[in-house]
Structure 1
Amino acid sequence: MLEDLDRTINDIEKETQQLLIEFNVKKSIKEKLENDLSAKENELEEIRELMDVLEQVKFLLQRASEYAREQIKQQIEMLVTHCLQFVFGPNIEFQIELSEAANKTNAEFYVISDYDNFKVKTKPQDARGGGVVDVISLALRIAVIQSTNAYKNGPLILDEPAKHVSSEYIANVAQFLKQISDIFHRQIIMVTHNNYLSEIADAAYKVELKNGISDVTLVDEKEQNKL
């Protein structure tokens, strides 16, 4: 009887030892998992903080981009409006409308004409005929060149820049080009058949086709005034 009891106690002790070993092993695994979880939670928190910082940086970059874009937009609007008003009078202005689509910025151009305090907003091609389109195209080229650093130096080369502008306004275009050259200190090289535009030049050359060969001659002031 006592032997059976001793055997039972021994079995219980062995089983208890085994359970203690298993408990300690599982406890160690649990502690490791808790440590791993804590480390991952810390990493997750760091990632969240980093994401917050990146979102703030992204927001600041967007605001900076929007501000820079708005500044350039206003500069272009001002220069093109100045050009239009110089040529056609004070009752006209240029407007750019920006919109976002498919992560791209789109720009639409409009002309605002003032008829006795009644403003009409149209596309350039629908405003007062082709002359307006020519003047806007000319002014946009100048505005883009002067608003960026891509083309700091060098001449402005124009090919028949105002071929659709009527004789009523062509002299104003000539004076505008002269003003642009003086203000921005930029040489203008222009090909034109228009007398008003050639007369403002510091030097004019006449190109004639003779026997299939282009003959280039310098036009003196007297002859230039007769052209």
Structure 2
Amino acid sequence: MNKKGVPLSIVAWPDEVNGSIKEIDAIARGNGFKIAIEHTSIDTFQYQRRDDARFTKVFGKIKSQLIGKFSDRVRLTVPFYAIPTGTNWSDFTDSIKKWILENVPALPYGCGKYNVPKIPFEIQIEKRRSSKPAFLVVRFAPEDNTLVDRLYETINENSQKLVTYKKRDYQTILLIENSDISSMNLGLMEKSVKEALIENLPKGLDEIWYANTEILADLEFYLIWPNSDTTGINKT
């Protein structure tokens, strides 16, 4: 269904048919409308999905192994991009887990930064008395101001695929997906897209939509350019 409430159906997947050339993702039709759709995704922070995967692999394992090991509330915080390429996952995990088990019980209450042997970054440990003991692992948000520039590049690149469809009287839509549950929101995406487009009005592009996919069972779609509509559309 489009923003006017017209039921639409996907009738073609051009990129699957014409895999040898750069094609759009989908064509939708309904009640006289014909719409060309290109889909892309963007990280809130550069290389975020790569870092998410590494973080989950290493620190997800550490968290699962240390749950229930402490009588206090312990929070381990590590930097974004902490795990370099070529890391020996097993050695990395074992070193941090061993240090935490041996040192955290004797640490003073409060928050402090520590160096772990064989680990190339500083960790932060916060230890609090609590009636509900827990072991938590989080990351510091990185200093990253590249979102607008990366949006500029992806909008330019992907809108080029829509030009030929615009010439054939299709309505053209670029759908930008983000699944970041902690650092992305509608306001940030809308603001960043509009900043990216200040000197860049791509040819052949009618609308940009934001697809919030942080909850797969409750997808949200918002028109954010040229005329934003923050009421959105849900698809469960």
Q: Which has the larger radius of gyration?
A: 1
Work out whether the TM-score is over 0.5: no
- TM class by shorter chain equals under 0.3
TM-score, normalising length: structure 1: 0.23
The structure where helix makes up a greater share of residues is 1
TM-score, normalising length: structure 2: 0.22
